[in-house]
Structure 1
């Protein structure tokens, strides 16, 4: 099987369940930003020694496949979507909120502005956060068109979770340094 099909040479791309749109269509722009978020999560995972962080990143990366499947479906085919498999549902948003609460309990929240880059994994989590925020902004026309979607809410909570995860990783590094320095 070849990676190239040549079908997109005309500036269009295929959608899930059929149909084609221009490569600069809003849903393709949105999926591009989400794809960047997913890649940044992979980098955070690759630069972390924490198996807990790695497992959470993999979970989120898989969630983002679901989100991208929904977005890559034409309006006419939305009835074919399946919750948590090809469509984001409210329970996926609730799971992000649970993770934010769980991780927030592991460290003291910063009381001032945070400068990204406290550790490699936190820097990549912050990168994932800003791409998720961009995806959220890009999603607005999609969300307005698809009133039943949870995509906007999901991206909003995801960026909050990514910020929380980055601060958690910063806290892990700071605690390790304190221990090493005998503080």
Structure 2
């Protein structure tokens, strides 16, 4: 286990830099810090889902495991060269995703974010996950990033979409379908 924080502020970042897990210092707005910062934000939004009413045990267990994975992923991104997310983690996400998705009816329309508080929070987590994925891709263009990081986030965004569908249905609110016919065609 690393150092324990006994004092929360250190003042070392007052110059706009922060320390990575390997001891090196980088700008707080570096691509690496943005990537693991967004993974941290994603973890917080998943915490919002878990704090919502109506989250069943299976979803709770899945998302709690995801939070641990995201903490590992943040560590991997914070310590260049570290490997903490593995193919088995991605395969586990795929199995869980299939299990949640199989009983759902096939999609015929796009779904709008909504369907109750838990489902809405899950949609928010999905969009933050997509941003984290984009930032990991951007980082990977200029520094070494293991492909598992990007793959994990890509699969996780799919899982969060499916879980939002599950939560919307379980809440009784149902899914909010995009009404593409609502626009009238312009008169000639």
Alignment TM-score, normalising by the size of structure 2: 0.83
Structure 1 segments unaligned to the other structure (5+ residues): 177-183
Q: Specify which of 50, 66, 90 is matched with residue 45 of structure 1.
A: 50
Runs of 4 or more consecutive aligned structure 1 residues displaced over 6 Å after TM superposition: none
Q: Classify the secondary structure of the residue corresponding to 1:21.
A: strand
Q: Corresponding residue for 2:152?
A: 154
Alignment TM-score, normalising by the size of structure 1: 0.85
The answer as to 2:25 corresponding to 1:25 is no
Structure number with bigger Rg: 2
Asked if the contact 2:86–2:148 (Cα under 8 Å) also holds between the matched residues in 1, the reply is yes
Aligned residues: 167
Asked if the contact 2:116–2:173 (Cα under 8 Å) also holds between the matched residues in 1, the reply is no
Write the mapping of 1:10-159 to structure 2, written as runs, cut at 5 A.
Answer: 10-49=15-54, 50-74=56-80, 78=81, 81=82, 83=83, 87-144=84-141, 145-146=143-144, 148-159=146-157
Give a deviation string over 1:104-160, Cα, whole Å, max 9, x none: 023213321111110111101100000000111111133343264311111111101
Asked if the contact 1:143–1:152 (Cα under 8 Å) also holds between the matched residues in 2, the reply is no
Greater helix share, structure number: 1
Write the mapping of 1:158-173 to structure 2, written as runs, cut at 5 A.
Answer: 158-173=156-171
